[in-house]
Structure 1
Amino acid sequence: MADEWHGALHHVRAGQLTGQTGQTAGMTRLEAVSGKTVGSSKIWMGQTHVAPGTSSGDHHHGEAETAIYVVSGRPVFVFAEAGSEVRIETEPGDYVFVPPFAPHREENPGAEEAVVVIARSSQEGIVVNLPGLWPGRAG
């Protein structure tokens, strides 16, 4: 029972996810748990769908830490390190951690849709689209 010390649980059904969040080209982000949907104050959670043969634009998630769980497909996560592009190839069951302000993109080179569940340390789904992975230069 909810009272001043114990909040009520919220149930968000799969069909209730909303796409009213920051979007990046090549991806569809669906919001499940957020300040807008359930009144959370410290966490955002949802899922992202990447169509076969596509990739997101380069982006980061501001000050939020991001944890990703691969549900289906074999998405690839791309980021820059020491002037080189690094690719993390994943499969269902894998997890990826993205630190705050880390430029990256998701790719789906496979023939099936890739679906991932995302949790962020912010109540909202922050998406900052970028011209490239390297600050100050495109590409």
Structure 2
Amino acid sequence: MNTPDEASGTAAWHGRIEHVRGGALTGDTAQTSGMRRLEAISGRTVGSERLWMGRTHVAPATNSGDHHHGEAETAIYVVSGHPVLVFAEGDHEVRVETEPGDYVFVPPYVPHREENPSPDEEAVVVIARSTQEAIVINLPNLWPTPDPE
């Protein structure tokens, strides 16, 4: 006789695998200037509860706006191009220059921007986030603004 834990585990084994074709990604997600985000895996597309995954395109000679992703941890895999991720450290901007095959981790709430310095090559990255939705908070710059007194 199965215990309740064994029964629920067995039920989970009979879940359904969802398949999202690359051509079926939707751009109906939060956007940042200079970028085009396409949603693949989310609560809305496949019913995920703790994960968001998609693809982002940054046009040649383009910078995104400054932004952060709230509580979400973000992992980035560089598919093509040489995108640069920029964040603030003290009074200075730090530039992380990438190439295809690289991975980048962006912690929650870290203001950053993506840049594509190439004059003729689009940069494409795959993004995974620890929340099911694509949280995007657009910002006026990389530094925190002082609280009004």
Per the TM superposition, whether the score is higher than 0.5 is: yes
Match of 2:59 in 1: 51
2:69 is equivalent to residue 61 of structure 1 = yes
Q: What does residue range 23-62 of structure 1 map to in structure 2 within 5 Å?
A: 23-62=31-70
Match of 1:92 in 2: 100
Q: 1:78 & 1:66 partners in 2: Cα distance? A: 14
Query: Which of 5, 8, 12 is the equivalent residue of 2:12?
Result: 5
Q: 1:126 & 1:4 partners in 2: Cα distance? A: 31
Q: How does the TM-score come out when normalised to structure 2?
A: 0.88
Q: 1:109 & 1:123 partners in 2: Cα distance? A: 30
What are structure 2's unaligned runs of at least 5 residues?
1-9
Match of 1:126 in 2: 135
Over the matched positions of the two proteins, sequence identity in percent amounts to 73
Shift of 1:11: 0.5
Q: What letter corresponds to residue 100 of structure 1 in structure 2?
A: P
Shift of 1:82: 1.5
Q: 1:61 & 1:77 partners in 2: Cα distance? A: 14
Structure with the larger helix share:
2
Q: 2:21 & 2:12 partners in 1: Cα distance? A: 26
Q: 2:73 & 2:143 partners in 1: Cα distance? A: 19
Q: 2:116 & 2:58 partners in 1: Cα distance? A: 6
Q: 1:28 & 1:98 partners in 2: Cα distance? A: 18
2:20 is equivalent to residue 18 of structure 1 = no
How many correspondences in the alignment?
A: 135
Match of 1:112 in 2: 121
Match of 1:70 in 2: 78
What are structure 1's unaligned runs of at least 5 residues?
none
Q: 2:25 & 2:47 partners in 1: Cα distance? A: 15
CA RMSD, 1 decimal: 1.0
Indicate the structure (1 or 2) with the bigger Cα radius of gyration. Answer: 2
Q: How does the TM-score come out when normalised to structure 1?
A: 0.95
Match of 1:79 in 2: 87
Q: 1:132 & 1:47 partners in 2: Cα distance? A: 24
